[in-house]
Chain A
């Protein structure tokens, strides 16, 4: 046990001390935040459909509705270029619209909004433009017109204009709740998908990065011939165990640091990072219309990660630990099999294929987490460590499936440890050519 601790401590400390680990730990959250915020940052640059209020408002109502709509649009879309207002007689409306079409064609404006008597009556309003098919844009414009028609009517009934504006200043967020066969499902489907995706991807990343770190570490001990000195002091099983546990804890340390740093960064640095985007979201949501919820990345981060039940968190952790041990032992065996950096990637291909096979199905599984494929993949020991957490975060998974998957992975772990322990023992001091499959079988059979 004392020797296990010595090996474990070396593996852990040497890695945690390295500047690459420190750099990765610090830059990880920055990367995540950028990825999460990227769509918003790119989308919010003020071109394309984001420039939603850059339209011509043709007002043929004769009641000043156009001016109100323009003011409302400017308030709602502070980042968009301002709308133009053209007030015309009803008879001149058609000509004005024809002219607006030309302007759209020349890309001077995005579209035009034609307000007429029918609008005032609450019947219809016409919008034509490049983004006429974009649901969100059209909806936002419709909402702006609607609220102004309402305001106009209220004022006609003698309600104070300022009061009307005040009445309208409420956010009214829409909280949705999906109901499935078993009753209510996850509160926020979007963030559940995000979480599931993030967790599965993180598990995959950690297993690939740190599993390969173990492989390279074994290979390094082999090629530098340290292995022989070390195994003359400690038996190979303890060496292997210490290595896997040490590197595994490094992975856990890294993930935890990322989570903590990301939360800190989101709390304190988000206004600086996102600048006017953050403010825009705040303004928009204060205006009581399309608010922060329309910007998935930012909205999610603001909402935070949806709470998952404790048992699911425990299952998730077990998935990671056992999945890591499973793949780490296989990677260690690969490292012990070969003698050079050139050979190792090739020899690791089968293990990598096992890993990748679980990731390539992530898309379909996320789209349909209840499908037979999703269930099978979440039970298969080789893919369960990644797919089961994904399913757990997406849909309620019956406990017996989770327990079944975990026991399967545990059994696979035991087998992997047994096999790789033997390959490791023989391979660590075996130099020369890469073993054939038959030789490998002999190693496993005869190792003592």
Chain B
């Protein structure tokens, strides 16, 4: 529903959108509390000299795919580790699947794929997986059955070869990643937490991971993953939260977030010579606050109070041959840049 609203009306939504968003998340908390997979309230985590996470509140609805976005060092991993009770917040509360996150047995319902992956190298694949499953309270026989199923499914066990019997370090990197993924899901968790799941994946495995996330959602599971690759988040997530320097910048449904930032973005394409002609217009700070030159077209962000029609008039007046002039919904990438700004950015962050 939210999708439809945003798609049809990007021109009109902006002003009230942000307020609506807040109202909406308030509603989440008051009405849907029992339906939240993760409910983080006012969590703070300080290290010796710096604040890793500052007064962060998050609400992840059950059965959704949720993206935790932010530049490196924004506090994503710290947040995830606090959710998993690996590190303990200085203050604030975390509720998982309706129980306090330190409650007994709650971690058994969570599957976790850490950013830095690793398995016991000298251990047999099957034994590693059995170990991970048993740590989550799965009985041995049931674990063996599921491991078989998974190995088949990810083609680690077929007529020719059963990689389950090999040692972990005999496997290729890609296969090890598959094994790690099985380890995350072998106990059929209700909440799946993936820290930077796409980093280091080749396109084929990345596609498989996307499929898996969609499938988990279709089975009613909640998936939360952190990433700095905005494209993935935009395609996969129902909701996102952008954090930078330990603080929440914005959160909400992807469509709503984009809608809230709509109407201020213009895609402009001019032919060869036109690029030189429009340069003075694009440089006018009264009209345009930021230009992202994508080579084939510009993404232009209007200055506050500026009018898109005024921009169009000015561009036409330059005499440049216009191939495209379109009001567009900003991508998460654009929103991210706009809201987080260059200060939050580290090398490698924009490669998505």
Contact = CB atoms under 8 A, between A and B. Distances in A.
Contacts of A220: 120-121
A229 B132 contact: yes
B115 to A, nearest CB: 8
A442 B127 CA distance: 37
Interface string A249-272: 000000000000000000000000
Contacts of A229: 112, 114, 118, 132, 180, 183
B119 A230 contact: no
Contacts of B127: 10, 14
A22 interface: no
Given A2-B137, A232-B110, A233-B107, A10 B131 contact: yes
Given A224-B121, A225-B118, A234 B135 contact: yes
| Interface size classification for chain B | 20 to 34
A223 B121 CA distance: 11
Would you call the interface of chain B mostly helix, strand, loop, or mixed? loop
B84 interface: yes
Tell which of A7, A225, A234 has the most Cβ of chain B within 10 Å: A225
Given A2-B137, A224-B118, A429-B81, A232 B86 contact: yes
B135 A233 contact: yes
Nearest to B110: A232
Interface string B99-134: 000000001101010101111111100010001101
Nearest to A238: B135
Contacts of A132: none
Given A229-B112, A233-B136, A6 B131 contact: yes
A448 interface: yes
Nearest to B113: A229
B86 to A, nearest CB: 5
Would you call the interface of chain A mostly helix, strand, loop, or mixed? helix
Interface in A212-257: 220-221, 223-226, 228-235
A228 B119 contact: no
Given A231-B86, A233-B132, A234-B135, A14 B119 contact: no
A169 interface: no
A404 B276 CA distance: 90
Contact of B107 (A6, A221, A232): A232
Contacts of B122: 14, 18
Contacts of A14: 120, 122-123, 127
Contact of B119 (A223, A224, A429): A224
A389 B112 CA distance: 47
A225 B183 CA distance: 14
B88 interface: yes
Given A232-B86, A232-B110, A226 B120 contact: yes
A280 B127 CA distance: 54
Nearest to B114: A228
B170 to A, nearest CB: 15
A163 interface: no
Nearest to A428: B86
A18 B117 CA distance: 24
Interface string A10-48: 100010001000000000000000000000000000000
A45 to B, nearest CB: 44
A229 B168 CA distance: 16
Nearest to A446: B48
B81 A448 contact: no
Contacts of B107: 232-233
B144 to A, nearest CB: 14
A126 interface: no
A153 interface: no
B242 to A, nearest CB: 24
A2 B137 CA distance: 8
Interface string B246-280: 00000000000000000000000000000000000
A448 to B, nearest CB: 5
B134 A225 contact: no
Contacts of B180: 229
Nearest to B88: A448
Contacts of A234: 135
Interface in B269-309: none
Contacts of B183: 229
Contacts of A7: 135
A39 B132 CA distance: 52
A224 B132 contact: no
A130 interface: no
7 contacts: A7-B135, A220-B121, A225-B118, A226-B120, A228-B112, A228-B116, A442-B48
Given A2-B137, A229-B180, 6 more contacts: A14-B122, A225-B117, A233-B108, A233-B135, A234-B135, A429-B86
Interface of A: 2-3, 6-7, 10, 14, 18, 220-221, 223-226, 228-235, 429, 442, 448
Closest 10 CB pairs of A and B: A225-B118, A224-B118, A225-B116, A233-B135, A228-B114, A232-B112, A232-B84, A6-B134, A226-B118, A10-B131
